[in-house]
Structure 1
Amino acid sequence: MTSRDDHPPIRPLTPADLSACLDLADEHGWGREEHKWRLLLASGTGYGVDAPEDDPVGGLLASVIRTSYAERWHAVGMMLVAGRHQRRGLGLRLMRRVIEDAAGAPLLLTATDQGRPLYERLGFKAVGGITTLRGTFAAPPAGEDGEDAGGVAVRPARAADLPEILAYDLTAFGADRTELLARLPRFADRLLVARTPDGRLAGFGASWPNVSTTSIGPLVADDASVARALLTPLALDTPTPARFDVGDDQPELARWLAARGLKETGRTELMIHGAPAPPGTPARRFAPFSMAHG
């Protein structure tokens, strides 16, 4: 007996599927984000649907990546369906599989206006908007970032900092991101830490290359002043325009970034399935690792 929808089967994606994933993303105008896709395929669980043999274009018809944080939370990203096969239930099938494989643990994702109805149908709830800002970052006036940051010292991260970064992030994020963050020193162009005068870790942040922009994230800090102290050297003199994703719960930071030259270029919605609110301490999370990683 055949299945109701007769779609080709869902299969795992591997790093060998990188080119096909880039083609699918390019079709949607997302760009060929090779650096990010390599990380997603290496650190997450990919799901794909291949075009049938009689399809004139071939390649992948659909993709999605689930990144697990010690099986306690899962981030969902890169949900894509080829335009010629949209509205045939492919996205719904993939997302139902992702939810099933999460085994009852909550999931989070960022949704465009186009994708939001699908996620709402599956029980995802919107919990806050995110604004994407891009531009050439202008240095703040001398002394501005240090005046209210408690005298924190910002410097490049060292190998010895990693255990503290992981412990700090666990409290702030609310789930163990060791598998992902351990890859950050090689993934990022810049990885910085902020320490108080007595040596305590007060935050960390990174920036990394992504096609036509330099993405800033993750950015985790005690408060907004420490976040700004980290953000300035991360965003200053980047090889491409800086990109920062700021939540609606950080309006002052959004205004500060606008004053530094970054302009709004997009809006998405943070959505959650299986929990009433994001994990950890959201007030200490100033930027996601990426939209696909949470």
Structure 2
Amino acid sequence: MTIRTDNQIPTTDPRPLSFTDLTACLELSDNREWPLEDRKWEFLLRVGQGYGIVDADGKLAASAVLTHFGDFAAISMVLVAAKYNRRGLGTRIMRHVMAEAGDSVATLYATPQGQPLYEKLGFQATSGCEVLTGAFTGRGAGTTRPAAAGDLPAILRLDAEVCGVDRTHVVSRLPEFADRIRVIERDGEITGYAAQTRALSQNGSNQVGPVIAATDAAARALISDIAIDAGGQTRIDLDTARPDLIEWATQNGLTPVFSCKAMVVGGATLPGDRGRLYAPILQAIG
């Protein structure tokens, strides 16, 4: 007879996750005291591929999501149930998704708790990210407008130029996921866009992202107009290399609540003109 304890380490290989696993994903998030972001999980499982390790009780013991973008891939939602903490499941599922990434350069955002694991797996911090939330108190710029259906081809071209890869399978779904998309133009050409998604969890903030703009002034205009249009609490994730923009955000009602590191395997340089990427769609995607 095999005697099994409640925290016996699962030995099964990671398996793909689907929408039928959404409840299990939310239960795992709750176990680690993460927000219950059902809309975020649904979006990620639609545009990416989730993987999970299931324990002997049929519970999800570990998770991760891999979202491919051609030559690079974003890893997110890396979670391990508390009772299996520091028992190798995080390393095992990370090695699995890194193998699934193939020749694509893997990227992720790391909390201070997760950073040591990722460093052991060859990730290097390439930049920092400051998460700010609060009720936006600034004034609208009035120089942006709501995106129309006919703007999608121009938005896709701009996004590909800035990010250096084709993200059509993600950006084309923004109208389903986001509540608002605004664009800014110069001489009749769209030079920037931003999206806002209503709170992904109870008591959460409206997420602003992505923000792509040609200048700091254009980025501020997009953020101002979309935050005022949405109302309520706003969240935006800004690169720490933009201290002037972070200071502007704090002067307009937003407060830094935590920071993390953007990490890339081997510290590789990501493609595109990233100087125009002011905020990611989500940290889970980039």
Bin the TM-score by the shorter chain: over 0.9
Give per-residue Cα distances to partners, 1:35-74, cap 9 Å, x unaligned. 1110001110110011213xxxx521000000011x3110
Deviation for aligned residue 1:189 = 0.8
Q: 2:76–2:285: 8 Å Cα contact kept in structure 1?
A: yes
Alignment of 1:186 with 2:176, yes or no, is yes
Give per-residue Cα distances to partners, 1:180-235, cap 9 Å, x unaligned. 00100111111111111x20111000000222110000111111111111111111
> What is residue 148 of structure 2 aligned with on the other side?
158
**1:269-284 equivalence runs, <5 A:** 269-274=261-266, 276-284=268-276
Deviation for aligned residue 1:9 = 1.8
**TM-score normalized by the length of structure 1:** 0.90
> What is residue 191 of structure 2 aligned with on the other side?
202
Deviation for aligned residue 1:7 = 1.5
The SS at the match of 1:246 is strand
Query: Residues of 2 paired with 1:267 and 1:278: CA distance?
Result: 21
Q: How many residues align?
A: 275
Q: Over aligned residues, Cα RMSD in angstroms?
A: 1.5
**TM-score normalized by the length of structure 2:** 0.92
> What is residue 217 of structure 2 aligned with on the other side?
225
Q: 2:10–2:53: 8 Å Cα contact kept in structure 1?
A: no
Q: 2:196–2:208: 8 Å Cα contact kept in structure 1?
A: yes
Quick one: which amino acid aligns to residue 124 of structure 1?
A: F
Q: 2:10–2:55: 8 Å Cα contact kept in structure 1?
A: no
Query: Residues of 1 paired with 2:44 and 2:82: CA distance?
Result: 22
Query: Residues of 2 paired with 1:116 and 1:36: CA distance?
Result: 22
Query: Residues of 2 paired with 1:28 and 1:83: CA distance?
Result: 6
Query: Residues of 2 paired with 1:46 and 1:289: CA distance?
Result: 18
> What is residue 150 of structure 1 aligned with on the other side?
none
Alignment of 1:120 with 2:119, yes or no, is yes
Alignment of 1:34 with 2:38, yes or no, is yes
> What is residue 89 of structure 1 aligned with on the other side?
88
Query: Residues of 2 paired with 1:8 and 1:132: CA distance?
Result: 36
Alignment of 1:24 with 2:28, yes or no, is yes
Quick one: which amino acid aligns to residue 49 of structure 1?
A: I
The SS at the match of 1:191 is strand
The SS at the match of 1:234 is helix
Quick one: which amino acid aligns to residue 203 of structure 1?
A: G
Q: 1:107–1:274: 8 Å Cα contact kept in structure 2?
A: no
> What is residue 60 of structure 1 aligned with on the other side?
60
Query: Residues of 2 paired with 1:238 and 1:201: CA distance?
Result: 22
Query: Residues of 1 paired with 2:246 and 2:10: CA distance?
Result: 47
Deviation for aligned residue 1:277 = 2.0
Deviation for aligned residue 1:238 = 3.2
Quick one: which amino acid aligns to residue 65 of structure 1?
A: V
Deviation for aligned residue 1:175 = 1.2
Quick one: which amino acid aligns to residue 43 of structure 1?
A: V
Q: 1:206–1:216: 8 Å Cα contact kept in structure 2?
A: yes
Query: Residues of 2 paired with 1:74 and 1:35: CA distance?
Result: 21
Q: 2:130–2:239: 8 Å Cα contact kept in structure 1?
A: yes
The SS at the match of 2:144 is strand
Identity fraction in percent: 40
Query: Residues of 1 paired with 2:111 and 2:53: CA distance?
Result: 22
For residue 249 of structure 2, the aligned residue among 254, 257, 281 is 257
Query: Residues of 2 paired with 1:178 and 1:6: CA distance?
Result: 37
The SS at the match of 1:40 is helix
